[in-house]
Chain A
Amino acid sequence: MAKKSQPESAGEVVTLRRWITVGLPATDLFALWLEPNTLPRIMSHFATVTPVNKSDALWQIDGPLGKHYSWESRIVEAQPGEIIAWQSLEGADIPNQGELLLRPAPGEWGTELALTLRFTPPGGALGKKVTTFFDLLPKEIVSKALHRFKSLAETGEIPTLDGQPAGRHAERQDKEK
């Protein structure tokens, strides 16, 4: 079962795990997850994801103090309607693994999804900075991605405020960024 606080930190590994129920069959969600546009959209709060081919993608994130981190990921397991797992390739700034598990939900609820991201901060000074970075990043990285995925699946769009008007004089801007 889940431990009380997230992110869990087992040794050096930071594990983020969240759950969501989506009102569609598992096979539909499996297919949607693998569409090339999906990851770039649902991860955009966290990373710029650029698909390289059907199984590989480039992830780029902006850390504190203007630092940038990147890695390439590869899908290592994909069973329709059950699991999609991926991991970063050699040379990743922050080695990591991810896993989406799908299982039928009771009644009319559709499908239960569990998304897990595991990051292994590298050692040394960079590692320290990265650990601090993840201390700053709450579990919402994962729940936000899941919510965006759910909205995309159920409605075909992701709710947004980007570009809506506001009277924010202090910041000399009148639209949300």
Chain B
Amino acid sequence: MRALCWNGVNDLSVETVADPGLLNPHDAIIRVILTTTCGSDLHVIDGLIPSMREGDILGHEFMGEVVEVGSAVKHIRRGDRVVVPSFISCGSCWYCQHQLPSCCDNTNPQWEKGETVLGHPTGGIYAYSHAFGGYAGSHAEYVRVPFADNDCFVIPEGVTDEQALFLSDAVPTGYMGADFCNIHPGDTVVVWGCGGVGLMAQQSAWLMGAHQVIGIDRYPERLAMARDYAGSIALDYTQVDINEALLELTGGRGPDSCIDAVGMEARGEGLSQVYDKTKQLLHLETDVGAALRQALYACRKGGNIAILGVYGVMDKFPLGLMINKSLTIRTAQQHGQRYMHRLLEHVAKNELNPAFMATHRFSLEDAPRGYEMFKHKEDGCVRAIFAP
């Protein structure tokens, strides 16, 4: 089959590789219908995530059709049109039983690599380095999905391929962030970042009853999407003093909840930006974190901070803000399996609509070009999606 492979830092190519086969009894093979770029892929492509291997197949956000199932798969069948969360979860361990599927104990074959980095490793994830399992990714004609009964979700008729695609990662991640905010009537929720995850967090915050939702970014087309598709107040941080604006919008209290949907890409302004960027390039620190720092400062006392952006091992963190302001921080890699049934219902009822994020469509052969556009946000690219 054809597959998009990572050959080294910023070196991608579409290669002919072997077709995946069933390796374990709970596996299924999926014919990939759609698969999408995600901001977290850029960390991998740029070499900021250690333990990638040359030739690894990229891609973790996808939907497709089941073409083969293992001997222990009971519910999922050939021909099912399914969406699959990017984190692999066994469904049996303590973490899966307690609604923490991305913490699964049984899906990371390279457990020891994750243990070295994290103390206790996450579950496996498709195409996100060998410390996170080393599974072959979805930017390919076929992908192997372990624990198919637990991880494949049949897409109801009426939900399109493009809507279902983003239920694999962007929607559950954003929805989880809003869920972490424990939203009450009257709440103001601010989302740093109007990429796929940030936009979905904004739609979800409305759905959970927020009084006011604010999206922050610097790209006009993304700010327009926050306004047009999420109904948010859109703030351009290059034009507006964010802290002042948030004080004005909340009568001086500060927002009740803040969601960081940016992570280590967050650009600061001025010298601190240069300092952080230099450290990032020298691998002294793989974080920038301006968005998170701003969120901690802006948030009202006793408020909630949800961190969805991807971080390395941050060496400086404004802990005093958390303590003195009684902030609650909640964070996780996405627990897609926890939310998927609810999300499919929301999409079927048009209460969430992620399909607009598919701004650019490519064949798999043109995937390297798609990543270029996505990385540089050319032509207003929010997500480049590939149809293998």
Interface string of B1-23 (1 = CB under 8 A from A): 10101010000010101111101
B109 A161 Cβ-Cβ under 8 A:
yes
A160-B109, A165-B17 given; name 17 further pairs at CB < 8 Å: A23-B93, A138-B112, A140-B112, A143-B112, A143-B115, A157-B26, A163-B23, A164-B23, A164-B144, A165-B18, A165-B57, A165-B136, A167-B3, A167-B15, A167-B17, A169-B54, A174-B55
What is the CA–CA distance of A31 and B107 in the complex, to the nearest angstrom?
A: 23
Residues in B lying within 8 Å of A, measured CB to CB = 1, 3, 5, 7, 13, 15, 17-21, 23-26, 53-57, 72, 90, 92-94, 97, 105-112, 115, 124, 133-136, 140, 144, 146-147
| A159 partner, pick from B7, B17, B124, beta carbons under 8 A | B124
B55 A164 Cβ-Cβ under 8 A:
no
Kindly list the 8 A-B residue pairs having the minimum CB-CB distance in the complex, ordered from nearest: A168-B55, A167-B5, A167-B15, A167-B55, A159-B109, A165-B17, A140-B112, A151-B106
In the assembled complex, the CB of A2 is this many whole angstroms from the nearest CB of chain B, namely 15
23 A-B interface contacts by CB (under 8 A): A23-B93, A140-B112, A144-B111, A144-B112, A151-B106, A155-B92, A155-B106, A155-B147, A157-B25, A158-B24, A159-B106, A159-B133, A159-B146, A160-B24, A160-B109, A161-B109, A162-B23, A165-B17, A165-B20, A166-B17, A167-B5, A168-B54, A170-B55
Contacts of B21 in A (CB 8 A): 163
What is the CA–CA distance of A150 and B121 in the complex, to the nearest angstrom?
A: 15
What is the CA–CA distance of A144 and B111 in the complex, to the nearest angstrom?
A: 7
For residue B109, which residue of chain A has the nearest CB? A159
| B23 partner, pick from A150, A156, A160, beta carbons under 8 A | A160
In the assembled complex, the CB of A161 is this many whole angstroms from the nearest CB of chain B, namely 5
| Count of A-B residue pairs with CB < 8 Å | 107
A90 at the binding interface (Cβ < 8 Å)? no
What is the CA–CA distance of A167 and B55 in the complex, to the nearest angstrom?
A: 4
What is the CA–CA distance of A159 and B109 in the complex, to the nearest angstrom?
A: 5
What is the CA–CA distance of A157 and B146 in the complex, to the nearest angstrom?
A: 10
B105 A154 Cβ-Cβ under 8 A:
yes
A164 B135 Cβ-Cβ under 8 A:
yes
| B20 partner, pick from A110, A138, A164, beta carbons under 8 A | A164
B5 A155 Cβ-Cβ under 8 A:
no
Contacts of B92 in A (CB 8 A): 23, 154-155
What is the CA–CA distance of A36 and B93 in the complex, to the nearest angstrom?
A: 24
| B56 partner, pick from A21, A110, A166, beta carbons under 8 A | A166
A133 at the binding interface (Cβ < 8 Å)? no
Contacts of A109 in B (CB 8 A): 94
For residue A146, which residue of chain B has the nearest CB? B111
In the assembled complex, the CB of B92 is this many whole angstroms from the nearest CB of chain A, namely 5
In the assembled complex, the CB of A72 is this many whole angstroms from the nearest CB of chain B, namely 28
In the assembled complex, the CB of B202 is this many whole angstroms from the nearest CB of chain A, namely 36
Most A C-beta atoms less than 10 A away, residue of B15, B26, B140: B15
Contacts of B54 in A (CB 8 A): 168-170
A159 B107 Cβ-Cβ under 8 A:
yes
Contacts of B133 in A (CB 8 A): 159, 161
